[in-house]
Structure 1
Amino acid sequence: MTPQTDAPRHVVATSAEADTVLRRLAREGWTVRSGFALPDPSWDVGNARLVLHGRIGDDDLESARLAVLASARGAGVVAICDAESSAGRALVDDLTRLGPVNQSADSSGDVIATLIPEQRALLDRLASGDTIAAAAAAEFLSLRTANRRIAEARQLFGVRTTREAVLAYLRQRQRQPE
Structure 2
Amino acid sequence: MTGEPTAPRYIVDGGAEATSVLRRLARAGWTTREGFALPETTWDVTDAKLVLFGRVADSDTAELAVLAAARGAGVVAMSDVASDVGRALLADLTRIGPVSTDPDAPVAGESGDGGAGSGPQLAPEQRALLERLAGGETIAAAAAAEFLSLRTANRRIAEAREVLGVRTTREAVLAYLRIRKDS
State the TM-score, normalized to the length of structure 2: 0.69
- 1:139 alignment partner in structure 2: 143
- 1:44 alignment partner in structure 2: 43
- 1:160 alignment partner in structure 2: 166
Query: What is the DSSP-based 3-state SS (H/G/I as helix, E as strand, rest coil) of the residue aligned with 1:102?
Result: coil
- 1:77 alignment partner in structure 2: 75
- 1:150 alignment partner in structure 2: 157
Cα drift, residue 31 of structure 1: 1.5
Cα drift, residue 156 of structure 1: 3.0
Say yes or no: does 1:115 pair with 2:114. no
Q: Is the 8 A contact 2:95 2:123 kept in 1?
A: no
Give the aligned length: 164
Cα drift, residue 49 of structure 1: 2.6
Question: Unaligned stretches of 5+ in structure 1?
Answer: none
Aligned in 2, Cα 1:105/1:61: closer, same or farther, shift over 3 Å? same
- 2:12 alignment partner in structure 1: 12
2-structure distance, mates of 1:106, 1:21: 7
Matched to 2:90, the amino acid is V
Aligned in 2, Cα 1:94/1:135: closer, same or farther, shift over 3 Å? same
Aligned in 2, Cα 1:138/1:50: closer, same or farther, shift over 3 Å? closer
Aligned in 2, Cα 1:105/1:167: closer, same or farther, shift over 3 Å? farther
Cα drift, residue 123 of structure 1: 1.1
Matched to 2:69, the amino acid is S
Aligned in 2, Cα 1:87/1:17: closer, same or farther, shift over 3 Å? same
Matched to 1:82, the amino acid is D
Aligned in 2, Cα 1:85/1:167: closer, same or farther, shift over 3 Å? farther
Give the aligned CA root-mean-square deviation in angstroms. 3.3
State the TM-score, normalized to the length of structure 1: 0.71
Question: Unaligned stretches of 5+ in structure 2?
Answer: 106-116
Cα drift, residue 63 of structure 1: 1.9
2-structure distance, mates of 1:175, 1:54: 36
